[in-house]
Chains A and B, each alone.
Chain A
Amino acid sequence: GEDVEQSLFLSVREGDSSVINCTYTDSSSTYLYWYKQEPGAGLQLLTYIFSNMDMKQDQRLTVLLNKKDKHLSLRIADTQTGDSAIYFCAGAAGSSASKIIFGSGTRLSIRP
């Protein structure tokens, strides 16, 4: 089955760029997602990328997809304190696409 892996922690200085990485195993994933979870809250969809795209940009967010290496990254430009959260990478498991597999989440902390 699909396996999605992420590093657990990332610490960046306020104003720098944050890059959160993710690897996945199921090459048939149609869409790949990034979700954000703030403390005590539910998951919020940040962005998604279709599997035939290499890059998607949405304001401060840039998603890069390397399908050959099954590697997905999320870059947050000009990181702010409000970006402190856990970021989950997720992929749809197989062609049925009704089941999403989440990574373990990367906890992003911002230093002044």
Chain B
Amino acid sequence: DTAVSQTPKYLVTQMGNDKSIKCEQNLGHDTMYWYKQDSKKFLKIMFSYNNKELIINETVPNRFSPKSPDKAHLNLHINSLELGDSAVYFCASSPVTSGAPRETQYFGPGTRLLVL
């Protein structure tokens, strides 16, 4: 039943470590996204992929590298984690065909990252 899933749900790690967050959608959508939500709940887009190709890359440090092995998966790898990376990271996907507007995004449950 799960539409957009993320793993892990919680991630606690030390500064300087490298970690990955995985996202999978079973909706058949072509476009997937990564968002960062800070402690004030402000939600900002980081990356967007369409059919495994990068289409949006906001001002994000090079330590963040998305990877899309196929259109159902978009993973986020973070190198050399910093304290300021602590946030909730949301994956989302959007359809191409109508039924819903093209841009409508469906969100995963989020990954809560805490860097110590």
Would B43 and A102 count as touching, CB distance under 8 A? yes
Q: Which of A25-55 contact B (CB under 8 A)?
A: 30-31, 33, 35, 37, 41-45, 48, 50
Would A104 and B110 count as touching, CB distance under 8 A? no
Q: Is A100 an interface residue (CB 8 A)?
A: yes
- What is the number of contacts between chain A and chain B, taking CB atoms within 8 Å? 57
Distance to closest chain B CB from A85 (angstroms): 11
User: What total of chain B residues lie within 8 Å of the partner, measured CB to CB?
Assistant: 26
Interface size class of A (residues with CB under 8 A): 20 to 34
Distance to closest chain B CB from A64 (angstroms): 18
Contact of A104 among B40, B50, B92 (CB under 8 A): B40
Known interface pairs A41-B109, A41-B110, A105-B41; A98-B55 also in contact (CB < 8 Å): yes
Across the interface, name the chain B residue whose C-beta is closest to A97: B103
B residues contacting A by CB (< 8 A) are 4, 31, 40-45, 48, 50, 55-56, 90, 92, 94, 100-110
12 residue pairs bridging A and B, Cβ less than 8 Å apart: A30-B103, A31-B103, A35-B107, A42-B107, A43-B90, A43-B107, A50-B101, A98-B94, A101-B45, A104-B40, A105-B42, A107-B41
